[in-house]
């Protein structure tokens, strides 16, 4: 099949879905109740592109990126930007993640959102998001990528604030949008520099033109792109929006705030990887920021009692791991972790959604029986013992927890271990900062295993802690919700085998994803790699893998026994052990407070004290003054309009006399 047509279908179908699901119910109200149809259309327009992407994937790319140029978007002088899509190994992998995991989440959402009155709107937004995300990953130039980048930001805003009748939710949506704007601004500046120095935004031209740029300019561009990525991918200092973004419906958290959108910063860095490698100073920054973010978010996750908050901080932490990989030049591992993370984190989020669904049922029953106390269906302190009532959810959640903890042979093990190994290897090669990142990463891996097992134990093990646990209990979620969970949990188990560690080469296995992304069979892949001079001995590598496995298993077993024994009391023990440090974690290191003090409040007070008067007095005053001058002239000229015809006739005669005089003299 013709590539152009395939690409148009892959990118266009979700847009068609968004328009159909959005416009028909908008103008024809009875269609809003056709939920089966809307759900089917919404899911199909994501699954068909997935099938097409699989077809493209099975064809192979033959080494060269295939570019499908649709039309020229804008042309100004020598500078022109096309709407062109690029199919290569990197964009195909991302497309498969977006449409594959996205499709499963759409199916899940048909069950999760079944009772929502704005069902149609939800699917319209979700489809629009997929369209924008595909634009982001398939774009052949920075500007089209930026269009997708802004588009997913918009959809994120729409979906976080989906239940906008609660003020908290729309505030969270605006926070996400505004914080992202800071990053987007840096992205724009990076593009300006690229246009100035290279004169084109096409990836091929930009990466080829990097050689002609000054070192300072390259460093600046990479720094600005990284700042853009910290916004979208929730890294320090701009990560604060992601935990708040959990105000959106759970499928949104799974799709946008775990599996796809937040990984676009990594995608950007991987896409620009040859350029990033030319800015070693910024790579240090990327690795350190990534490692510190991973640690910071992991410690905060330890203190959260809202199940989705734990997962949100866990996402920030895992994204930190990915940036760490990018910072040590292992871009393909970052993308590998994007892939495995999409599996297990989407599964965890959807599992938490299933739990919340079940706890909603509990709340409903309790209200029915006259219970009128406070009840939060996301609070793990009110859960416990759900394994009896929600077996599928429990097993899938457990498997994904093991995967994210990095238990050997699960998907998370391979990708996380590869990140740590690459960091170690880069340090071994002489880049000592990588060892610092590696050490932080190792500690974070332990914390990850611990806090994720904690969330599993508090939710599913022990006994029910909600009011009246003997009379009221939750039910397993419908098939449409459990099926995606099973598929994702299965992928979280086996998905890692595409990226075997280097020692496996001794046994005759190769690291498939490395070859696929970084070049194989004699051609270079889209993702660049640094050249290493020293190689880690095999014995040391095996020792590292063993250490990583031990840390993961140790963390899980420790948390399992700890929270198995103390249940909720475990948190108090941890709090007692860490004291002030724990309080510091609890308030999220005070980032929100800091921004509130240094940015939000100064902006608001300066607006009130300085800009509002300026606007009212000076800007409005200027406008009013212009109006008054106009009025004065109007008044003056109105005097001439006497309404007496003879006066006008006199003017005509005087005019004739004047003309005659001019003619004669």
Partner 1 sequence: MMEIPLSWYLSLSGVLFSIGVMGVLFRSNLIVILMSVELMLNAVNLTLVAFSQYLGDVSGQILVIFVMSVAAAEAAIGLALVIAIFRNKLTVDINNINLFKH
Chain residues in the site for partner 1 (CB under 8 A): 641-646, 649-650, 653
Minimum distance between the CB of residue 652 and partner 1, rounded to whole angstroms?
10
Q: Which is nearer to partner 1, 76 or 663 (CB)?
A: 663
Q: Which is nearer to partner 1, 573 or 657 (CB)?
A: 657
User: For the chain, first and last CA: distance in Å?
Assistant: 85
> CA 520 → CA 217, 272, 534, 592, distances in Å?
31, 19, 22, 46
Minimum distance between the CB of residue 633 and partner 1, rounded to whole angstroms?
20
Minimum distance between the CB of residue 659 and partner 1, rounded to whole angstroms?
15
Minimum distance between the CB of residue 665 and partner 1, rounded to whole angstroms?
18
Distance CA 327, CA 283 (A): 5
Minimum distance between the CB of residue 664 and partner 1, rounded to whole angstroms?
14
Minimum distance between the CB of residue 644 and partner 1, rounded to whole angstroms?
7
Residue-wise over 74-95: b if at least 16 C-beta within 10 A, else e?
eeeeeeebbbbbbbbbbbbbbb
Q: Which is nearer to partner 1, 51 or 656 (CB)?
A: 656
Helix (H), strand (E) at residue 523 = strand 523-524
Distance, CA of 477 to chain centre: 27
Q: Which is nearer to partner 1, 521 or 663 (CB)?
A: 663
Minimum distance between the CB of residue 646 and partner 1, rounded to whole angstroms?
6
Q: How many CB atoms lie within 10 A of CB 553?
A: 16
Q: Give the start-end residues of each E strand in 291-432.
A: none
Q: What single DSSP character describes residue 65?
A: P
Q: Which is nearer to partner 1, 579 or 643 (CB)?
A: 643
582, burial (CB in 10 Å: exposed 0-12, middle 13-18, buried 19+): middle
Q: Give Dmax over CA atoms of the chain in angstroms.
A: 117
Minimum distance between the CB of residue 647 and partner 1, rounded to whole angstroms?
9
> CA 189 → CA 143, 211, 263, distances in Å?
12, 20, 21
CA torsion angle for 445, 449, 454, 456 (degrees, to 10)? Answer: 130
Minimum distance between the CB of residue 645 and partner 1, rounded to whole angstroms?
7
Q: Which is nearer to partner 1, 36 or 642 (CB)?
A: 642
Q: Which is nearer to partner 1, 614 or 648 (CB)?
A: 648
239, burial (CB in 10 Å: exposed 0-12, middle 13-18, buried 19+): buried
Q: What single DSSP character describes residue 379?
A: B
Q: Are 312 and 383 in contact (CB under 8 A)?
A: no
Beta pairing partners, 71: 83
Q: Are 112 and 104 in contact (CB under 8 A)?
A: no
Q: Which is nearer to partner 1, 599 or 656 (CB)?
A: 656
Q: Which is nearer to partner 1, 636 or 644 (CB)?
A: 644
Distance, CA of 307 to chain centre: 19
Minimum distance between the CB of residue 650 and partner 1, rounded to whole angstroms?
5
Q: How many CB atoms lie within 10 A of CB 389?
A: 18
Taking alpha carbons only, the member of 271, 279, 231 closest to residue 142 is 271
> CA 358 → CA 234, 457, 480, 567, 568, distances in Å?
30, 17, 14, 21, 20
Minimum distance between the CB of residue 622 and partner 1, rounded to whole angstroms?
35
Minimum distance between the CB of residue 655 and partner 1, rounded to whole angstroms?
13
Taking alpha carbons only, the member of 244, 59, 232 closest to residue 152 is 232
């Amino acid at each position: 099949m013709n590539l152009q047509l395939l690409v148009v279908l892959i990118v266009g179908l979700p847009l068609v879905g968004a328009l159909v699901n959005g416009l028909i119910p908008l103008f024809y109200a009875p269609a809003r109740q056709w939920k089966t149809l809307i759900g089917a259309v919404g899911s199909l327009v994501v699954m068909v592109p997935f099938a097409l992407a699989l077809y493209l994937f099975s064809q192979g790319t033959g080494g060269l990126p295939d570019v499908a140029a649709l039309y020229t978007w804008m042309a100004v002088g020598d500078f022109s930007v096309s709407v062109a899509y690029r199919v290569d190994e990197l964009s195909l992998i991302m497309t498969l993640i977006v449409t594959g995991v996205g499709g499963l989440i759409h199916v899940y959402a048909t069950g999760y959102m079944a009772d929502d009155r704005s069902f149609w709107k939800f699917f319209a937004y979700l489809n629009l998001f997929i369209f924008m995300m595909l634009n982001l990953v398939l774009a052949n130039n920075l500007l089209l990528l930026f269009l997708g980048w802004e588009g997913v930001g918009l959809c994120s805003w729409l979906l976080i604030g989906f239940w906008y009748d609660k003020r908290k939710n729309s505030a969270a949506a605006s926070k996400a949008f505004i914080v992202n704007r800071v990053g987007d601004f840096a992205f724009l500046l990076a593009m300006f520099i690229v246009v100035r120095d290279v004169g084109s935004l096409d990836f091929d031209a930009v990466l080829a033109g990097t050689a002609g740029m000054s070192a300072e300019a390259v460093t600046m561009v990479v720094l600005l792109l990284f700042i853009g990525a910290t916004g979208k991918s929730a890294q320090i200092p701009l990560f604060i929006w992601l935990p708040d973004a959990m105000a959106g419906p759970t499928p949104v958290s799974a799709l946008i705030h775990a599996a796809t959108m937040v990984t676009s910063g990594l995608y950007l860095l991987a896409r620009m990887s040859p350029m990033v490698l030319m800015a070693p100073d910024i790579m240090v920054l990327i690795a350190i920021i990534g490692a510190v973010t991973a640690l910071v978010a992991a410690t905060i996750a330890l203190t959260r009692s809202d199940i989705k908050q734990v997962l949100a901080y866990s996402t920030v932490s895992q994204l930190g791991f990915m940036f760490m990989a990018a910072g040590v030049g292992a871009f393909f591992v970052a993308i590998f972790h994007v892939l495995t993370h999409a599996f297990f984190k989407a599964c965890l989020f959807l599992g938490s959604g299933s739990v919340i669904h079940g706890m909603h049922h509990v709340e409903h029953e309790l209200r029915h029986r006259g219970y009128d106390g406070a009840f939060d269906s996301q609070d793990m302190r009110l859960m416990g013992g759900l394994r009896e009532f929600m077996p599928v959810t429990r097993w899938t959640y457990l498997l994904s927890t093991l995967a994210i903890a990095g238990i050997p042979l699960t998907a998370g093990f391979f990708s996380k271990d590869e990140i740590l190994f690459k960091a170690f290897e880069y340090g071994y090669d002489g880049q000592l900062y990588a060892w610092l990142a590696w050490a932080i990463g190792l500690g974070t891996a332990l914390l990850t295993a611990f806090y994720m097992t904690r969330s599993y134990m508090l939710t599913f093990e022990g006994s029910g802690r909600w009011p009246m646990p003997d009379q009221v209990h939750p039910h397993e979620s419908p098939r449409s919700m459990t099926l995606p969970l099973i598929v994702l949990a299965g992928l979280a188990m086996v998905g890692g085998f595409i990226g075997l560690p280097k020692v496996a080469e001794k046994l005759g296995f190769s690291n498939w994803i490395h070859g696929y992304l970084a070049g194989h069979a004699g051609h270079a892949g889209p993702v660049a790699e640094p050249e290493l001079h020293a190689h880690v001995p095999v014995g040391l590598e095996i020792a590292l893998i063993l250490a990583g496995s031990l840390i993961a298993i140790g963390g899980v077993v420790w948390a399992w026994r700890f929270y198995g024994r103390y249940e909720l009391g475990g948190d108090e023990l941890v709090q007692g052990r860490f004291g002030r440090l724990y309080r510091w974690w609890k308030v999220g290191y005070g980032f929100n407070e800091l921004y509130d003090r240094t940015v939000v409040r100064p902006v608001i007070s300066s607006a009130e004290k300085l800009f509002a008067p300026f606007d009212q007095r000076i800007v409005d005053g200027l406008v009013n003054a212009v109006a008054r001058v106009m009025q004065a002239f109007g008044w003056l000229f109105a005097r001439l309009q006497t309404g007496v015809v003879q006066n006008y006739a006199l003017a005509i005669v005087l005019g004739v006399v004047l003309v005659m005089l001019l003619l004669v003299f």
